Structure 1
Amino acid sequence: MGSISATMWITLDGVVQGLGRPDEDTRGGFEHGGWGGPYNDEVMAREMGKARSESGDMLFGRRTWQDFISVWARATDGNPMTEHMNAATKYVVSRTLEETSAWENSVLLRGDATETVAALNDRDLAIIGSASLVRSLHAAGLIDHYTLLIHPLTLGTGTRLFDGPAPLTEFDLTDCVTTTKGVIIASYRRR
């Protein structure tokens, strides 16, 4: 039986929107894009490198997959993360995407997210971002592991990891590392 892991960069007030750059995700008039950059350090790079060094397939929502294409699909920088992202099978859950040829090793999953992902129950899948997909899979009890990079700031606005009710689910803390910039990297496994 496979498992699904979600890695989310999150603020103290639960915002997961637009961490990478100002224009990353401006939906809803979000003006705080790029909030995560000042908190990157060697500890975070090392911890994320360890997580990505494990083999496994990737799982994306359409928006995140399309955004990642511009960063990873054409990169030839020798970065182990780049190599992992390009070599991994990338499953893309979408009701509107026509095809996935823009990024090698991508497979389109059409239809209801919970049904199409549940059908992949023999695979280990890793999600980076894709908050809407994570919320749907969490509600269906399909997320087995979370790695939360909890940043020491509040934004007040933006898409939150859990907008609205989430089902009661208990997790055990399995690892915790603090970066030099105060980001807590906490790993949880569903009980």
Structure 2
Amino acid sequence: MRSISATMFMTLDGVVQGLGRPDEDTRGGFTHGGWGAAYNDEVLGAEMGKGMAQSGAMLFGRRTWEDFIGVWASATDGNPFSTHMNAARKYVVSSSLADAGAWENSVLLRNVDDVAALDEELSIIGSAALVRSLHAAGLIDVYTLVIHPLTLGTGARLFDGPAPVTEFELTSSVTTPKGVIVATYGRVTSR
């Protein structure tokens, strides 16, 4: 049975753009890249490790997949995240890529319908545009929102436009020593 979970790193004002480094995503003149680095700690690392330990394949939008290639595909540092990222089956959704051969174990999908046709557990890290499309199609089952205690005022937000009414319930939450809230929500299927 297909299940899709999305992990989204965001600010209090909902910005999901450019978490990792200054040059990660400068679209729209975004100048606040790298905002998440100051909030990393052991508790956050352990929480993200729990997600990596779950079975299933990974799902990416093209931009995130290409960015992750530069970080993970050639990593030989012995980091368990590197090992996991390279060994996992990775689906990339893109209408513009010619193939997915740039990163081992990657499979190219063309659209949301191709994702809907999959029958396995899938996890997404980032890929906000893809998450918005999957949410609009009613395909996101679980959100893990990693909420950082800052506002940026500008930048792409998780839901920039209208989103369908979908009810979720809090299934777990952890607060890190640096004030990051890791909140997991599961979709309510019926009441």
Query: Which category describes the TM-score, using the shorter chain as reference length?
Result: over 0.9
Normalising by the residue count of structure 2, what TM-score does the alignment of the two structures yield?
0.97
2:49 aligns with 49
**Given the alignment of the two structures, is residue 145 of structure 1 paired with residue 142 of structure 2, yes or no?**
yes
Q: Distance in 2 between matches of 1:101 and 1:115?
A: 22
Per-residue deviation at 1:2? 1.9
CA distance in 2, matches of 1:160, 1:81: 26
**Number of the residue aligned with 1:72:** 72
CA offset at residue 48 of structure 1?
0.5
Asked if 1:174 is matched to 2:171, the reply is yes
Residue 107 of structure 1: SS of its match in structure 2? strand
Separation in 2, partners of 1:40, 1:69: 22
What does 1:14-29 align with in structure 2 at a 5 Å threshold? 14-29=14-29
Q: Which runs of 5+ in 2 are unaligned?
A: none
**Inter-partner Cα distance in structure 1 for 2:32 and 2:163:** 25
Does residue 154 (structure 1) correspond to residue 148 (structure 2)? The answer is: no
Corresponding residue for 1:100?
Answer: 100
Q: How far apart, CA to CA, are the structure 1 residues paired with 2:53 and 2:61?
A: 22
TM-score, length-normalised on structure 1? Answer: 0.97
- Equivalence for 2:129: 132
**Cα offset, 1:50, TM superposition:** 1.0
Q: CA deviation at 1:80?
A: 1.4
CA deviation after TM superposition for structure 1 residue 78, in Å = 1.4
SS in 2 for 1:52: helix
CA RMSD of aligned residues (A): 0.6
Gaps of 5+ in 1: none
Deviation at 1:114, TM superposition (A): 1.9
Identity of aligned residues (%): 75
In structure 1, distance between residues paired with 2:74 and 2:49: 19
Residue 40 of structure 2 corresponds to 40
Instruction: Supply the distance in 2 between the matched residues of 1:53 and 1:77 (Cα, whole angstroms).
Output: 18
| Counterpart residue number, 1:83 | 83
Shift of 1:55: 1.5
- Measure, in 1, the Cα distance between the counterparts of 2:2 and 2:112: 15
Tell me by how many angstroms 1:102 deviates. Answer: 1.1
Aligned residues: 188
